């Protein structure tokens, strides 16, 4: 009898704890969902005034010629538009935990996305290596996978040392079930003191503690992580031999 009462008491305790946990967690979940909806709605609302500012600025340049001020206005509008687009994309990614995954050619997507940056990297005085094994097929969403490769290569170019090296390599990994393994690396000799565990935090930039000319808001890598999760894959970052290395396995 005592054993039965003890067991019943334990079950009652578990139920109470479970209900209490739900009561505590529910407001946080609801608040988080409201924040995501706000970002999406605000993003769409802000696009219209930015488009008007841009149009007015272009008209002013046509009438009076380009000036230091009009160029600055144009640059800031572009930066804000890009920020809004990234925030809206990130919110949408988090709103759809399930996407329709199809078999796509990871090799062709990587080749196309990386090639778009080749001239930019070389123009900046760096070297660019692209090594892609042919016909690596993975389950993903094609447009998002292209964007993922773009984000990683763009990030590598931004944070690569002058006269350094940007490398994009796609191969396979796994014995029983082959998976695609994408590695994007860049030379960065001052990378030993960086906290890599924070790289995928939204708005985090490794150079936020000092004045940097590198442009960006620290959203791209958070987007990359969300995309990889949608593909049921894994993304990580490491530092070895003076190089920052991003590894994606899908």
What is the tens place of the pLDDT at every residue in 96-120?
656 789 999 999 999 999 999 999 8
Greater confidence (40 vs 168) lies with 168
d(CA 127, CA 85): 30
Which stretch of 90-99, 208-217, 227-236 has the lowest confidence by average pLDDT?
A: 208-217
Q: What is the CATH number of the domain that holds 56?
A: 1.10.287.130
pLDDT (0 to 100) of residue 84? 73
User: Does residue 106 sit in the same domain as residue 89?
Assistant: no
| Cα–Cα separations (whole angstroms), residue 154 to 28, 112, 121 | 34, 14, 9
pLDDT (0 to 100) of residue 93? 66
User: Does residue 90 sit in the same domain as residue 106?
Assistant: no
Number of domains in the chain: 2
User: Does residue 184 sit in the same domain as residue 74?
Assistant: no
For 199, phi and psi rounded to 5 degrees? -60, -30
User: Does residue 87 sit in the same domain as residue 140?
Assistant: no
The structure's pTM equals 0.67
Average pLDDT over residues 230-240: 94
CA 159, chain centre distance (Å): 15
Residue 54 pLDDT > 90: no
pLDDT (0 to 100) of residue 74? 81
pLDDT (0 to 100) of residue 139? 96
């Amino acid at each position: 009898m005592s054993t039965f009462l003890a067991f019943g008491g334990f079950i009652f305790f578990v139920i109470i704890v479970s209900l209490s946990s739900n009561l505590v967690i529910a407001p946080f979940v609801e608040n988080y969902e409201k924040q995501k909806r706000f970002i999406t709605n605000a993003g769409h609302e802000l696009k219209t005034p930015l488009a008007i500012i841009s149009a007015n600025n272009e008209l002013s340049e046509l009438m009076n010629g380009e000036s230091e001020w009009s160029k600055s206005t144009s640059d800031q509008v572009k930066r804000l538009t890009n920020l809004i687009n990234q925030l809206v994309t990130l919110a949408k990614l988090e709103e759809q935990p399930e996407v329709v995954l199809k078999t796509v050619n990871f090799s062709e997507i990587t080749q196309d996305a990386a090639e778009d940056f080749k001239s930019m990297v070389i123009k900046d005085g760096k070297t660019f290596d692209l090594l892609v094994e042919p016909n690596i097929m993975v389950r993903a969403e094609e447009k998002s996978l292209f964007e993922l490769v773009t984000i990683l290569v763009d990030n590598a170019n931004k944070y690569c040392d002058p006269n350094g090296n940007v490398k994009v390599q796609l191969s396979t990994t796994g014995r029983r079930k082959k998976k695609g393994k994408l590695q994007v690396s860049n030379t960065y000799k001052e990378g030993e003191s960086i906290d890599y565990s924070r790289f995928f935090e939204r708005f985090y930039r490794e150079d936020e503690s000092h004045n940097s000319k590198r442009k960006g808001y620290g959203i791209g890598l958070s987007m990359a992580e969300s995309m990889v999760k949608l593909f049921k894959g894994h993304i990580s970052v490491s530092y070895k031999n003076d190089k920052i290395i991003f590894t994606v396995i899908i």
